[in-house]
Amino acid sequence: MNVRPYQQIDSVTGASAPAMSFDGAFRARLRDLLVWRRDVRRFLRDPLPDGALESLIEFAGLAPSVGLSQPWRFVIVDDRARRAAIRRNFETCNAQALAAQAPERSSLYAKLKLTGLDEAPAHFAVFADRSTAQGHGLGRHTMPEMIDYSAVTAVHTIWLAARAQGIGMGWVSILDPKAVAAVLNVSEDWKFIGYFCLGYPQADDVVPELERAGWEERRLPPSIIIRR
């Protein structure tokens, strides 16, 4: 298969840079990276190298954003008291989620390990700054939620960059957004996107943990494609 090279243009000078061409071996490795990117909940307690998280956050700046707004905001959570408050909030929300489960699924839910909050050496939260003037509102008059979606693209960019370095990442979504914002003392204009744990995984697996636990099965592409 012939792939047209991508022509880079220098953003300052406007001059053309050497074209990039990605061969079949690279594309195969890219697929491997996507397959091996898992939501990790079981971490080793080994610390990450100094500056590793900050370096990964730099990759987020390469993600697409509506109107070039770059609305993502990252809060690195090192403080033990704040981490403990996040942990307590998870316990409260998780108990509510367990109580809401159908009787035939509650016992399975109770067995699931849903966070790595206690083991992961690095914690950070991601917010979308809905008040940002950057981008001058381009692309969000009809769909203001594009700000939030842009922040999610930054999350996925970090996720892949981390996996490429052997680092695992887990998304903690069983939290009260208002409580998290209060614990982290952020602007009221910031929309909570997610809380994340980062560290070296105890083990690697190409099968999602929830699928291995029998909670759900991955859907195949034919079941989600609709032609009109």
pLDDT confidence band for 20 (50 / 70 / 90): confident
Q: Which of 82-86, 195-199, 204-208 has the lowest mean pLDDT?
A: 204-208
What is the CB neighbour count within 10 angstroms for residue 147?
A: 23
Q: CA Rg, the chain, in Å?
A: 20
Tell me what percent of the residues of the chain surpass a pLDDT of 70: 92
Are the C-beta atoms of 213 and 112 separated by less than 8 Å? Answer: yes
In degrees, rounded to 5, the angle at the alpha carbon of residue 115 between the alpha carbons of residues 109 and 121 is 165
Token pair 């074209």 is at which residue? Answer: 19
Are the C-beta atoms of 56 and 124 separated by less than 8 Å? Answer: no
pLDDT confidence band for 2 (50 / 70 / 90): very low
pLDDT confidence band for 19 (50 / 70 / 90): confident
For the chain, the domains span 40-223
Which helix (H) or strand (E) covers residue 182, if one does? helix 177-184
What is the CB neighbour count within 10 angstroms for residue 226?
A: 5
Task: Supply the mean pLDDT for the chain.
Answer: 92
Cα 142 from Cα 20, distance rounded (Å): 35
Q: How far is residue 186 CA from its own chain's centroid?
A: 19
Task: Quick: pLDDT tens for 51-95.
Answer: 999 999 999 999 999 999 999 999 999 999 999 999 999 999 999
3-state secondary structure of 105: helix
Tell me what percent of the residues of the chain surpass a pLDDT of 90: 87
Of 217, 179, 202, nearest in space to 41 by CA: 202
Q: Which residues pair with 205 in a beta bridge?
A: none
CATH number corresponding to 40-223: 3.40.109.10
Task: Quick: pLDDT tens for 153-163.
Answer: 999 999 999 99
3-state secondary structure of 11: coil
The DSSP secondary-structure symbol of 202 reads: S
Cα 159 from Cα 163, distance rounded (Å): 6
Task: Quick: pLDDT tens for 162-179.
Answer: 999 999 999 999 999 999
Are the C-beta atoms of 187 and 17 separated by less than 8 Å? Answer: no
Are the C-beta atoms of 128 and 151 separated by less than 8 Å? Answer: yes
